[in-house]
Amino acid sequence: MRDTEVIQHIQELCRERGWSYYRLAKESEIPYSTLNNMMTRTNIPTIPTLQKLCDGFGITMSDFFHEEADVLVLTADQQELLELYNRLDHNRKKILKAYMKGLLMEV
């Protein structure tokens, strides 16, 4: 992946989630000014910054750089749940995971 492709991929991930750069900065726990400068100047992020961005997106760095998408077929319900999950902030994702684990304990 070339330097410009890294920035483009970050932009694509934001678009897929409906996130602004401000939201990404908040989810990644990096200063908005750092992210904004990186995106407007198309500066490739450092490894630690990229790791924080991946954490914010909820993906691994391996997922970020994986060029061929693995074929995974989701039902409409699974796709809807994943889309809703991706729109949650970090704290709400933790709450949802805890709730779902609690539901499984009842079974």
Residue 29, φ and ψ in degrees, nearest 5: 55, 45
Please tell me the predicted confidence (pLDDT) of residue 87. Answer: 87
Helices (H), 18-106: 21-28, 32-40, 47-57, 61-65, 76-86, 90-106
Please tell me the predicted confidence (pLDDT) of residue 72. Answer: 62
Better-scored residue on pLDDT, 2 or 17? 17
Please tell me the predicted confidence (pLDDT) of residue 14. Answer: 93
With a CB cutoff of 8 Å and minimum separation 6, the contacts of 57 are: 13, 17, 24, 27, 28, 64
Buried b (16+ CB within 10 A) or exposed e, 78-102: eeeeeeeeeeeeeeeeeeeeeeeee
Is the overall model pTM greater than 0.85, yes or no? no
- Residue that the structure tokens 């039902």 belong to: 75
Please tell me the predicted confidence (pLDDT) of residue 63. Answer: 85
Distance, CA of 84 to CA of 107 (rounded, Å): 24
Please tell me the predicted confidence (pLDDT) of residue 66. Answer: 80
pLDDT tens digits for range 15-24: 988 999 999 9
Tokens standing for residue 46: 């450092």
pLDDT tens digits for range 30-89: 999 999 999 988 788 999 999 999 999 988 888 898 865 555 667 888 889 988 988 888
